[in-house]
Structure 1
């Protein structure tokens, strides 16, 4: 986990339950002598999420409707910390305050990224969703916790990501998204069944834990299809220049490799972060079309709006330019970060310039012929 993640240390469920008694009925002693909860029980997961938010993030209310996905807090806040490092002007100096605004695409009934981003860094957020019921739940969470810097917006067109959400001349520091993973509800059900069978669970356990609306779990093309649409829209103005860093969390390495090729073909700068929580492995893929200088100007404006950036890690060096980043030894392979190598070490997440397509003003055949003639002439002179 990220170095700033509050959940890096071992969690004693019984100790947590001593301060959050509603969790106690779900806590048991496992075969190793430690405490745990039944992760196949959706009620236990919801109560754990609520207690973590109350204990670590000072929320006074959190509840989502039945049938909606319950987010794992440690993983979600890890994503927030990755975004914090991504928009920093220098390693360890993270911009705080409402001058930094993020866009949560598909904020969901839990509004989890907005809640965590506000509590960790004091940022402001736009949270969008196509589901009116999910938005109603999110609004209740925001209102009861007095999170006035969160602006929830309905996306009326499910085929669009940014259009219809961002207003004219509106800009954000970053967008994040946890896209639907599956291509269909049938695929989602089969995947859930295989997961619990591997863990030796019964069909009853599968039914008990299988939660999530179709809009949360499935979309055309799965996560690759969704993020492809994000990339395509991010190429269009005014979206292209209204967001500094676009990003999405991915569950499959094959999805990541496919999308990296797409971004390279679009001329985007991109970064990849690997996130591990127990046996679970996810990737955050981020991309931008702004130059280093353009991003630096935006970051400077956030610092002016908020006073100054908060220094997280002392003793780090000066800001790093694109030239410095691209001159390091990163080869474009997937970035693997250990628990100790948190995202405060941004050299582990080097930007790789995309290979730009060459736009020719003359037919390709003419260019090839000229090159052949030049080669022959060089041989003649030799």
Structure 2
């Protein structure tokens, strides 16, 4: 089963579009008639950065005017805009991107998100091209009246380039807004970074009230954002599933005795994995229950709270993959468990034998160790 990589990690690894041509001496020589005053004027202008403004998706911010837009169509939908310095022949292109992703935890503590990101980069950075990551600083920097903070760190890119990574995080009850700026150490300038961060404007309404309930769409957004990653971009959350999960958002996860009773009461006991394998679309608006051996269980903290991915094989040899927005506690590989939740999609993943295994992805309300 594919290990999830946080969106925050994916979006800092924009590659450079270096120039393939090098300047020839004859082409770059200046004539002796060039005036000293003109040269000084050009040098002064070169030292003054010029910016242009991006506006879209309810956000706007400034970025260097010579940076080019990056095609985000093949990235996760959370990536709203990206720009990079494609004018250099260096192996790494300085870049900026902005993401808006669901926040299933409802936490509005930006330092909590920052600490989770640091832990993720430190423990898993090598697998995504971030070597020797080290946190430099975390600074509270409110956005208007909202809690927000700036995380700065250093790492070594796969090209061998020393990188400065700056992330401005603004969490709300339902979403996490993140501006990520990535520079080679040689080109990093604190004043330029501050100017870009200070230029950020969010026109979309923000919900950030400590103690308020999470928006009803949060659970649906969580499954909507992660379904493509779980299924290796072969499946998406159907609108019927989105609406059903949104209407039952208090059950993801079912965290109290009353909610657990409610989730179990919604189960259609007649639906088995054989029914799901035949046509999962028939059960988008149902809760199902599948019991079996836990083949693999993983937990991830990269989105600001713990979520779990549990692969279960039932007694008929059929598989389900539970995407669960909570910890599974003491559940381990080889244990026996019951998954209760809403079917999302059928997909296949590559197994250790080199073939493919079919599985049904379930948005889990409960994962119960037997």
Bigger proportion of residues as strand: 2
| Superposition TM-score tier, normalisation by shorter sequence | under 0.3
Structure with bigger helix share is 1
TM-score (norm 2): 0.28
Q: Which has the larger radius of gyration?
A: 2
Q: Tell which has more relative contact order, 1 or 2 (C-alpha 8 A, sep 6+).
A: 1
